[in-house]
Amino acid sequence: MTVYVECTTPMAASRAEAFDLARSIDAHTGSMARSREQAIAGTTTGLISLGEEVAWRAWHFGLPLRMTSRISEMAAPHYFVDEQVKGPFRHFRHVHEFTDVGEGSIMTDRIEFSAPFGLLGRAVEKLVLARYLKRLIEERNRYLAVA
């Protein structure tokens, strides 16, 4: 079963600045300090671009996890998409969209994922993972909004 999570964040930064913040490996690492997320392979610093991959190591739910994502679509500064190519999910796709609003912008994150578990996975996806991912993205976005 595929689960959807959406977060909308007002940004003081312009659309182009917010776009770059969202694809900054360094900003992402800073925003995920609590989970000790580190870029360990691929593009490990600076701005990630179309076709590039980054492998992450982090701690979630008390477990060490690794996930490799690739930027599969990009239309600067409007949107980009990262998708898991290797990792803990059966399917993981994250769309990052940016809209101008007055002097700032709106950053919208749309995530769709499915867990690797069978029937138990449906309950875990909805009750645990969806809530956890939403909080994680909201925490990341609060960090980016003031970066």
Contacts of 92 (CB under 8 A, 6+ apart): 67, 69, 83, 84, 111, 112, 113
pTM of full prediction above 0.85: yes
How many distinct structural domains can be found in the chain? Answer: 1
Residue 107 sits in which domain range?
3-146
Both tokens of residue 144?
A: 């980016």
Task: Check if the beta carbon of residue 5 is closer than 8 Å to that of residue 129.
Answer: no
pLDDT tens digit at each of 147 positions of the chain: 788 999 999 999 999 999 999 999 999 999 998 899 999 999 999 999 999 999 999 998 888 999 999 999 999 999 999 999 999 999 999 999 999 999 999 999 999 998 876 555 666 777 788 899 999 999 999 999 987
Query: Taking the C-alpha atoms of 1, 4, 86 and 24 in order, what is their torsion angle to the nearest 10 degrees?
Result: 180
CATH classification of the domain holding 92: 3.30.530.20
